Amino acid sequence: MVQLRSCMIGATTCGIVYNLLQPIPQWTPTYWGIFFVSAHSIQIARILRERSAVSMGEREHELYEKCFMNYGWTPRMFLSLLQDAEAEWVTLDPGEEVCVQGKQRDKLHLLTGGNGHVVIAQAQQPGSDHEAAVGLRRRPSQSDGVLSRLGKDVLNDGVWIGDCWEEGAPQQKRWRSSVLVADRAVSALRFDTAKFHEAIRALGKDAVEAAERMQIAALRAERMQGRLWQLQMEERNRARLRELERSHLQQRNAATYEAMLALAVADGVVAPEERAACAAFRQANGISDEQHRHALTKVGWDEASFRV
């Protein structure tokens, strides 16, 4: 692009010289030529400025490559955004809330790493609008539904809590779920939401388009994480159901075996056929020695007498 605009400046300059060397100088095309030369020069200066090297610290450089570069942010745009949006590096301690369901979404967080887990939960019964507005539900409780749980493998790729871009004039919105740091500390970049979006608009069209791509990627990642958590919960529920069925079957087999023993010892004598039937049932249904002794105790017999 720089080469093309340079060629355009050269060609326009030749046209200006030609118009000025006419017997009667052509001032109108000369003025237009000067205008186009100026416009091309300004665009070349902007391009070179964007391409010029900028100084970033190790932390900013890592954040830029991980969360901004792939969406079209230039290094200069990125640094301008951090400065204009008054970005603040914070460490979220275990138990600290990133956001609370029902409160206004005035802060925007970009979770950038750490060894902790972040829990996203939604109150099953959020209560009145006033309770939600003043944030009376401070922490996810046992009655709340956990929508997702993000670990360090996800956080290290960068996770936005809040919309990193929204069209139109900013609106006062409230959080639809709560986000809480579960155990170990998590590092994050905190923005004022209004200042962040205003800074993007001030940077121009390229920044807006980059922010739109970043928001689309964030929504896709959120949907994927929600789906993965749902699959994990479904598998856990299936495993729990299998365990409950196994436990219920064991209890039923133990009760059946106890009933068999009660019938076998009802007349005070255990016939060999009855003893063999009980042994076969034990082997077929996994009745342990402890369960066998417990059943004998309940029917008033001991193991020595039963073997005779």
Number of CB atoms found within 10 A of residue 263's CB: 13
Question: 140-178: b or e for each residue (b if 16 or more CB lie within 10 Å)?
Answer: beeebeebbbbeeebbeebbbbbbbbbeeeeeeeebebb
What is the Cα–Cα distance from 308 to 38, expressed in whole angstroms?
113
Q: Would you write out the chain's pLDDT as a tens digit for each of its 308 residues?
A: 778 888 999 999 999 998 888 888 889 989 999 999 999 898 888 777 666 667 788 889 999 999 999 999 988 889 999 999 999 999 999 989 899 988 988 999 999 988 878 888 776 554 444 444 444 344 555 445 777 888 888 888 899 998 988 876 556 788 888 899 988 899 999 999 999 999 999 999 999 999 999 999 999 988 888 888 778 778 888 988 899 998 899 899 999 999 998 888 888 888 888 888 988 998 898 888 888 888 888 888 888 877 75
Angle ∠(100,106,110) on CA atoms, nearest 5: 80
At 110 the pLDDT is 94
Pairing verdict, β 186-192 and 145-150:
unpaired
What is the Cα–Cα distance from 154 to 67, expressed in whole angstroms?
12
At 169 the pLDDT is 56
Instruction: Write out pLDDT tens, residues 268-280.
Output: 888 888 888 988 9
Amino acid identity for residue 126 in this structure: P
At 136 the pLDDT is 38
At 129 the pLDDT is 46
- pLDDT averaged over every residue in the chain: 84
At 124 the pLDDT is 56
At 255 the pLDDT is 92
Q: Are 182 and 217 in contact (CB under 8 A)?
A: no
At 215 the pLDDT is 93
At 120 the pLDDT is 80
What is the Cα–Cα distance from 149 to 119, expressed in whole angstroms?
5
SS3 135: coil
DSSP per-residue string spanning 243-266: HHHHHHHHHHHHHHHHHHHHHHTT
Angle ∠(175,108,177) on CA atoms, nearest 5: 20
To which residue do tokens 């902007």 refer? 46
CA 130 remoteness from chain centre: 28
Q: Model's pTM, two decimal places?
A: 0.63
What is the Cα–Cα distance from 176 to 103, expressed in whole angstroms?
9
What is the Cα–Cα distance from 237 to 250, expressed in whole angstroms?
20
At 123 the pLDDT is 67
What is the Cα–Cα distance from 295 to 212, expressed in whole angstroms?
69
Instruction: Write out pLDDT tens, residues 91-131.
Output: 999 989 899 988 988 999 999 988 878 888 776 554 444 44
Q: Are 179 and 225 in contact (CB under 8 A)?
A: no
At 182 the pLDDT is 87
Pairing verdict, β 97-99 and 107-114:
unpaired
